[in-house]
Copies of this chain bind each other. A is one copy, B any other.
Amino acid sequence: MEQMTSRSNKKKVAVVGALNACFFAKRGFDVEVFETREDIRQAKIVKGRSINLALSHRGRQALKHVGMEEKIVSQGIPMHARMIHSQNGKQSPIPYGKKGQYILSVDRANLNKQLLTAAETYPNTKLNFDYKLQDWSAETGLMTFVRSDGLEEQIKADLIVGCDGAFSAIRKQFLRRSRFNYSQTYIPHGYMELTMPPINGEFAMKPNYLHIWPRNTFMMIALPNLDKTFTCTLFMPFEEFEKITTGNEVIEFFQKYFSDAIPLIGVDTLKRDYFRLPAQAMVSVKCTPYHIGDKCVLMGDAAHAVVPFYGQGMNAGFEDCIVFEEVMEQFNEDFSAVLPEYTRVRVPDDHAIADLAMYNYVEMRAHVNSRWFLFRKRVDNLLHFLMPKTIIPLYTMVTFTRTRYHECVERWQWQNKVINYGLLVSATGLVLGGSYLLIKNPPDINKLIIPAEKMWNRLMALRTP
């Protein structure tokens, strides 16, 4: 057993996850970062998921705390609105919020690299790569790793912070304990990434948008990258992916549903890239409690993997760091009080965002096609403009504030009741008022036929296509 010498008088914290390392290092803890993989900054080929991420307020606030916000934001591409591509090729934008509010498309690999470099600048932090966790004890804080040279190394930590992703190795030991509630739910959809190259050195579509092709049971989205490509992601039930087995079937399928994207991706690229990798699964993980005793805590995807449809996965994980920081402040870094309190305050919010992401999984691909949905979005935005503190659209609360996720949901349900009731009252008022005027001044019936026909046509147009 090789004992690490302490570089300070502070407690030792073992973490997976570079942002968390910065938070603990900033507080003066003696921090050891462990990565199962090699240092991605030196790696030739970056393996793993390449999806770009949507960074918004919560994530930015966490980056700001460790002085990284500006750097990361400057390397992201602002997206001010969704751009809806209808089946006939028509494009219509739906803004994310008020003027000046936007989310950012950032590169996952680049973000990881920047955070590792930031963590390394703290003298009380050590990065360990190629360390495979063999065993650990929640009672003693002793962790056993196998290093890249094949030797074992043991490290004793005062706190083990498991931010080791949706398939967390740390979480496995939680599962063996009594009274640990856990669920993992795979959705019936898989995803597949396709690259849309630049055209004449420029973005093939308008860059400052998150492009969406909603098609009810499935959909495609596209996010811009710094190299002027777009990463297109096709979300579809696995059995639909499996039905397409030849290049020609791919083109036929795109011809039918995403015809405007074919010339932009390119027929040959499309035929080839569709078969490069099988469709990937998406999982939603919820659990509670997040801690064992006073020595281990789960954070980020390890505690709450969410489906990617609200663009909040990374933001929720980064916000965990702020919430933990707040609880640390409140309880004076006493882990035996901090850990239970962290579970108590954070679980309801993480469960709420997991549910919201699942809800948006339906909304993004189906509701966006409904005129009633678009009408309600406009009403919400108008009311938000008129009463900015009373009516706040759900998306705005989630994306552009730090309102606790579970409070966003509660407030949204309340607002919906109020607005729907208001719309009902207004509609009734209009009908009653109109009837009264008609009775008082009966108009020439012949003059009514044409406006009535127009109104009827409008009404018909309002129905979901």
Contacts and interface: CB of A to CB of B under 8 A. Distances in A.
Given A178-B281, A281-B178, A183 B186 contact: no
Contacts of A182: 182-184
Contacts of A385: none
Interface string A173-204: 00100111111111000000000000000000
Contact of A181 (B175, B178, B180, B186): B186
11 contacts: A175-B175, A178-B281, A179-B281, A180-B184, A180-B186, A181-B184, A182-B182, A182-B183, A182-B184, A183-B183, A183-B185
Contact of A179 (B178, B181, B183, B186): B186
Given A180-B184, A181-B186, 11 more contacts: A178-B186, A178-B281, A179-B186, A179-B281, A180-B186, A181-B185, A182-B182, A182-B184, A183-B183, A183-B184, A183-B185
A181 B184 CA distance: 6
Interface string A35-68: 0000000000000000000000000000000000
A186 B178 CA distance: 8
A182 B179 CA distance: 15
- The 5 A-B residue pairs with the shortest CB-CB distance in the complex, in nearest-first order: A183-B183, A179-B186, A178-B281, A181-B185, A182-B184
A179 B279 CA distance: 12
A323 to B, nearest CB: 24
A171 to B, nearest CB: 11
A67 to B, nearest CB: 38
Contacts of A183: 182-185
A281 B179 CA distance: 7
A175 B179 CA distance: 18
Contacts of A179: 186, 281
A185 B186 CA distance: 17
A195 to B, nearest CB: 24
A110 to B, nearest CB: 27
Contacts of A185: 181, 183
Contacts of A180: 184, 186
